[in-house]
Each structure stands twice: as C-alpha cells, then as structure tokens.
Structure 1
Amino acid sequence: MQIEVHKKLPRKKIEVSEKLIKHLEEYRVVAKANLTGVRASQIQELRRKLREKVEFIVAKNTIFRKAAEKVNKENLINFANELKGPSLFLFTNISPFSLAILLNKSKVKVAAKGGDIATNDIIVPAGNTGLPPGPIISEFSKLKIPTKIESGSIWIASDTIAAKKGEVISVELASLLSRLGIKSIEAGLSIGLAYEDGKVFTMEDLLIDLEKVKEDLKLSVQQALSLAVNASYLTPETAPQILVKAHIQALALAVEAEYPEKEALLNALKLAYIRASALAEKANFRFEETKN
C-alpha cells in the first residue's frame, strides 16, 4: 500500500506541473488568491460563475515555482518567489484590475463560525426574533444584546453592535447569529499577488475605489471643460458655452459703448437707473416713478 501511495503522489505532481506550464504559456495573467478563511463551497461557486473567464488551479507554491522556471516570461520567477501561504492560482486574459473587481463583486454573506474575523460591524437589528422565551435569554445577556418579551417572543430592544470590524467572533456569538438567521461574514476570494506581461502587482496595487475614481473623472471633465471654454477651444461640448460667454461679453461691451442695439439699450437703461439710484441714495434724493 505504501509503495502505491508513493507512486501516485509524483504522478499527481507531474500532472499539476504540466497543467500549470500549459496555462502559464496560454494566459497573459496569473493571480494568486488568498485561501485563508475561504470555504470549499465558495470556490466551487466561483468556478461555476467564472468558468468562461477564469481557470482555477490549486497547487503548492514549490510546484508553481518549478513550473515557472520552465516558462520563458519576463519577471515570472520574481512573481513565483513572492508566493506565500496556501495558494489558489487564477489564470485569465482579463486585466488583474478587472479580475480584482470581478472577485469583489462575487463576494457573498455567509454564516459566521467561531474564530472568524468580523469583516464589518455585525449589527443585530431591533425587532421580533421569533424565538420563544427560555434559557437563550441568558445568551443574549452574556453577549450584551438587550431584549424584552412581547407576545410570547423574544424581541431585540434596539439595534446592537454584537462585534466590531476586525474582532474575533466567539463560538457563542456565531451560534446565536445562526439561530437568528444572520449571515454576518463577507466571504470570497481576494487577490494577494498578480502577474501580467512582465509586471507584478500586489494586493494594494489592485485595490481601487470605484466611487472615488468616478468622482475624480467627473472633476477632471469639469476642469477640462472650463479650461477649454476659457481658451475658446471649440468642440461640440464647448461651443454652446463659448457662444453664451461671447454673447455676454459682447453685450457688456455694447452697453458700455452705448451702442444703439435693442438688447444693449435695455441693459444700458437698467444700468443707468442702477447707477442713478446709487448716486441719489448718496445724495439723499428719492426718485419718483412716473406713471402713465
């Protein structure tokens, strides 16, 4: 039996290595996903969702390094040497940034287990739990979750933060959250390291705040438009604003020059009245409006 096991292991490693080499040659991008805290069911679900875009291979880092040595790609060895911890390798032709966004959108809420780290503040909402009064009330008290009894059920008295982001979830809290039907852990794959066309990207490189990017783009467009209008640079977008600006400037010039044009004369009369009113106020003189 021992001899058979030893024969099978090398063959399996060879098969994985050959598959890694094939994928490294075929795909532009390879990413190492963090497996810590990830459940097998989540990986299977992601395989199903992303099968047309991403190939998944679980392999030891040592096997990946040996496979990388046989593939002639710039900086691939540097990427392989940076690998640490359990690895799930993702092969794709979409950019690492798009892959990171795709994985982030694929995250789901799952029930917490004792020892999990809270990915966000865990809030137990106020309201009817549907649970009958009994020994479980002491569990709420132990976890400092205020309760009251109404209509034969346990009610949460007020919204309560049961665990803050980054805190370890106790077995007791995980059990209570499960009974309340609260899925409190955001679970999914995240990229720890990625390689594309000779470039190596860290997790920090791939963290993009899409809302901030949108706001920055809006501001850049507004600033560019303002600059183009002030420089009288004609484009389909700036032409209307440039015409309005030119009209206002021409009208102001015509008013100052007392040019006999209908719109200019009306504005000139308004300006004259404003100036006369200001002068009269200084001289303590009141105009009387003439009535027809």
Structure 2
Amino acid sequence: MLRHPLLDQPYQPTLQAWIACFTGYHMPEALDAELSRYDPNDPDDREQLIRRFCLAREDLRENFRHRQQRVLALQAAVADTHYDFDKVWEPPEDDYEDPQWPSRWPERVIDSRDFFQRLLRAARELWHDDLVRADLPSLKQCQEIAERDHGSRDWLFSVDNPEAWKALFGLAATPYELDTPGPQLHGERLHLALSGELPRQLLPASWNSPQGPGHCRFMLDIQGISELTMSGTRFDGPMRTQLTRLNPGYYVRLKIGFDCVIECVALSVSIADVEGR
C-alpha cells in the first residue's frame, strides 16, 4: 500500500492539495506579489498558474506513484458531472484561522470545473513519463514471463538510440559478455560502464586485418526505474544481460561476476559514450 510521504498512514490525495500552493497561513510577501500578478479567472493566467505553480514546483518527498494517485483522484472528480469544484477552494470548517489568499486575487474563482479540467490535461502532459512508469508491470509479473519471450543475445540492438554503436561497429559485432567495475545507482537511474573484447567471428567480414576495432567500451544507462532488486556480494566482473521489451518499458536482468543479480523494471534503456579500439 502506498504510504503518505510525511505521515505513517495510507496516501489518500485530496483536490485541496493541488491548490495548496495558492494559500497559506503566513504567505511570504514575495510569493503573494508573484501570485497577485495573475488573475485565476483569466484563461491564459489559469494556464500559467497551473503550469508554474500546481505542477512545476515539485515536492521531492513525493514519487511517481504519489503523482499517479493525485491524477487519478483528479480524474475521478472531473468525470463526476455533479462534483462541486467550488467547495475545493473553501477553507476547512474546523480551521480556527482562514488561510491567506493572494492579496489581489478576486473573492471567488469563476467556473472552477474549467480550472480543474485544465489542470488534469496539463498534468497528463507534463507528468506523462511518471504516469507511464506507474503503469509498468511489477517485477514479479516480469519474472513470470516465459523464457521464450525474453530478449536475445543481440540486446544492444533492442535498446533506445543504438545509433552510436552501429556507427562504430555496424550490426555484425555484438558482444555477449562484458566487464563492469560495478553499477552506480542515482535515485531512479542506474549507470554501468561496460567494456570487453569483440569475438573475431562476430566482426564484419570487411575487417580482415587488425585495422578493425576488436575492443569496445560504452555506458549502459537505465532510467525511470519503477522497481529494482539487487542480490550478491561482488558487483564487479563479467556481466551478462537479459533485456525484455515491455512496450512501453523494459525488464532488465543483469548477472555480474560470481553471484550478483540485478533485476529492474524501467522506462528506458540506452547506451552512450561508445568507443572502440
């Protein structure tokens, strides 16, 4: 169950959370002045308020699954033709002090439903990658994929943007086992530096002499990880890769060294910084 980013309880987003950036009990003067430049009843200003405040100012304590739940709650309200959006702007009845409204804003927001409809469209656009990632299959579902449906040895040609590899090595040279000094995990992103020999039988026929590169180096970049598990004691050494396209997304299984296994579900997998010698 998804937990609240600050409280030890299930996460249940409200529509009031979307507009919390417009209210406060002690609103800083600078924020009041900035918000007062806009009229929430003007269509163009609404778009600016939504994109610059409701969506662009990220709370780093929330992840992509929190965003998905916020959008689903908003989507359900917009789909309800009887939902009273005017009440969203009203302060809670049990508050002893009303939150501060931008000083030069009108007393009420006209056609609140239009505001939240615009908000839903913008959220689907600007948070597109997060929403897609939240809908990726679970790691358990990917582990149950039949072996015949997994990727082949030519996994390099299934990743996003393999042009850098093709430009240097063509399509005939595909290393099966590469070496890595170990993965680098940065939040929801995994980097691996890979290098290894290209078996001579896989080299293009035009490379009849030592002139053609027989060794490769490049970076494997896995981004938008929705779920990841790691096991083992040594994360450096020879690596074998199993890459399965999910459309969208990927299921990646990396076996490194003697006993290390990394499995993840991610939005994209790409290669970069390709070198040959």
Name the TM tier (shorter chain): under 0.3
Q: TM-score, normalised by structure 2?
A: 0.22
Q: Which has the higher helix share?
A: 1
**Taking CA–CA contacts closer than 8 Å with sequence separation of 6 or more, which of the two structures ends up with the larger relative contact order?**
1
Q: Which has the higher strand share?
A: 2
Larger-gyration structure (1/2) = 1
Q: TM-score, normalised by structure 1?
A: 0.21
